[in-house]
């Protein structure tokens, strides 16, 4: 078992503070319990590294890192180091669409074909439109069967297997997770604004919130802070190419067609510290430290389940609800899984507990399903909630 390095960050000076419920909380004692619980969980895993941050009462009350950011250098991870966070990215892309919705540039039930400038139809249901709400909630009937980084697959004249891009149910009928749909949403942001996707998110979401080091374009971010991501192959850790420059793929960039080079479905790079800012913004329904990026109505709508016609959904507009992390508790947020990274950003419906968790390589020691996210989230919830 590799040695674990831990540090604790308190957002206040006193170790004993009074909460809204008038009970005195010994945060130092809770932090010690959290350290022990984290060590206990990690005994079940072979891992490279990671970082966890816990929010209570609208502030960070605990932060701890484990392992290293790079196996070669053996540097430890800090809360300002940058991870490619994978599918948590979808919450940013969804927020960009919701800003355009608030500005009256689109309606959530509009046919996305109009702004895209070409028909997007499930060929089995050619009369059924695919809407922004469907893309945001993964109920569009689009699939990832042919990948999600080439919009030509949506054109039946260019793709002889066009039908395979869609499931055999009608749009709005069922929930099926789809990365292609969120890359398409990134392109639609460009169609509506005439602004490149990465720049729109930077100027309208990140910078207003003070998230100065986060972004989609690797070439405009401090690469010295990138945390290496590792996948397990043949009983060894192999570093993934998670931070490739998009420059070569941006030649002859076409707004509304090339946004996938930034991966609106999974390409955001951010730190535990700045991702916590993002989470707090949504815990407070679109506002953080006096800066509002979304109306309360839009923020609540993002966190509200969209019900497909066939049954119960688990996804709102860019946010999911999970009841399998903590028993008898529903958490709102998102997970990420790519390049060896596993990530989570979740908060309680009552807004009094939130957690950000980023890992750069892990696997169960005894094999089987990797549940490091669930195990750590559950352990922190039991201590801090």
* Chain segment 46-104, per-residue pLDDT in tens: 999 999 999 999 999 999 999 999 999 999 999 999 999 999 999 999 999 999 999 99
The pLDDT tens digits of the residues spanning 116-125 come to 999 999 999 9
- Residue 311: the pLDDT is 83
In the beta sheet, which residues pair with residue 332?
321, 347
pLDDT one-digit tens code per residue, 123-169? 999 999 999 999 999 999 999 999 999 999 999 999 999 999 999 99
Residues 149 and 46: their CA atoms lie apart, in Å, by: 32
Cα 58 to Cα 110, 280, 284, 353, distances in angstroms? 36, 7, 9, 8
298 touches 113 (CB < 8 A): no
Please give the torsion angle defined by the CA atoms of residues 74, 75, 77 and 78, in that order, rounded to the nearest 10 degrees: 170
| Mean pLDDT confidence for 226-245 | 96
Q: Which residues of 33-49 are buried (b: 16+ CB within 10 A; e: fewer)?
A: bbbebbeebbeebebbb
pLDDT of residue 24: 72
Mean pLDDT of 199-224: 97
Side by side, the strands of the sheet bearing 341-348 are 59-67, 49-56, 354-359, 341-348, 329-338, 320-326
In eight-state DSSP terms, residue 10 is: -
Q: What residues have CB less than 8 Å from 101, skipping those under 6 apart?
A: 107, 108, 132, 298
Q: Average pLDDT over the chain, rounded to whole?
A: 93
For residue 72, the model assigns a pLDDT of 97
- What global pTM score does this model have? 0.94
Q: Summarize the chain as % helix, strand, coil (round to 5).
A: 35, 25, 45
Q: Kindly list the structural domains of the chain, giving each domain's residue range(s) and its CATH number in brackets, ordered by start.
A: 81-319 (3.40.710.10)
Residue 23: its pLDDT value, please? 55
């Amino acid at each position: 078992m590799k040695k674990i390095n831990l540090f604790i960050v308190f957002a206040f000076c006193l170790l004993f503070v009074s909460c809204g419920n008038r009970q005195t909380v010994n945060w130092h004692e809770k932090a010690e319990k959290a350290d022990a619980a984290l060590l206990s969980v990690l005994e079940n895993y072979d891992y490279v590294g990671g970082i966890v941050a816990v929010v209570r009462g609208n502030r960070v009350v605990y932060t701890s890192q484990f392992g290293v950011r790079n196996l070669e250098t053996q540097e430890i991870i800090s809360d300002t180091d940058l991870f490619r966070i994978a599918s948590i990215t979808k919450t940013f892309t969804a927020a960009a669409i919701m800003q355009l919705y608030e500005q009256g540039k689109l309606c959530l039930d509009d046919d996305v074909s109009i702004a895209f400038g070409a028909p997007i139809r499930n060929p089995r249901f050619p009369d059924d439109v695919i809407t922004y709400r469907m893309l945001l909630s993964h109920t569009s009937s689009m699939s990832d069967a042919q990948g999600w980084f080439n919009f030509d697959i949506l054109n039946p004249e260019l793709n002889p297997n066009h039908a395979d891009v869609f499931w055999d149910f009608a749009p709005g009928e069922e929930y099926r997770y789809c990365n292609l749909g969120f890359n398409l949403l990134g392109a639609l942001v460009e169609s509506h604004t005439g602004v490149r996707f990465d720049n729109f998110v930077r100027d309208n979401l990140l910078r207003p919130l003070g998230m100065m080091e986060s972004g989609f374009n690797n070439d405009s971010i401090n690469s010295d802070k990138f945390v290496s991501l590792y996948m397990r192959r043949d009983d060894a850790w192999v570093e993934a190419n998670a931070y490739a420059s998009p420059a070569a793929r941006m030649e002859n960039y076409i707004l509304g067609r090339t946004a996938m080079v930034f991966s609106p479905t999974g390409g955001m790079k951010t730190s535990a510290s700045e991702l916590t800012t993002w989470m707090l913004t949504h815990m407070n329904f679109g506002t953080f430290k006096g800066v509002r990026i979304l109306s309360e109505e839009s923020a609540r709508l993002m966190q509200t389940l969209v019900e497909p016609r066939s049954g119960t959904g688990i996804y709102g507009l860019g946010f999911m609800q999970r009841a399998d992390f903590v028993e008898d508790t529903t958490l709102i947020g998102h997970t990420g899984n790519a390049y060896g990274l596993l990530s989570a950003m979740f908060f309680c419906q009552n807004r009094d507990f939130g957690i950000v968790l980023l890992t750069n390589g892990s696997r169960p020691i005894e094999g089987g399903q990797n549940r490091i996210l669930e195990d750590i989230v559950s352990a922190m919830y039991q201590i801090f909630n």
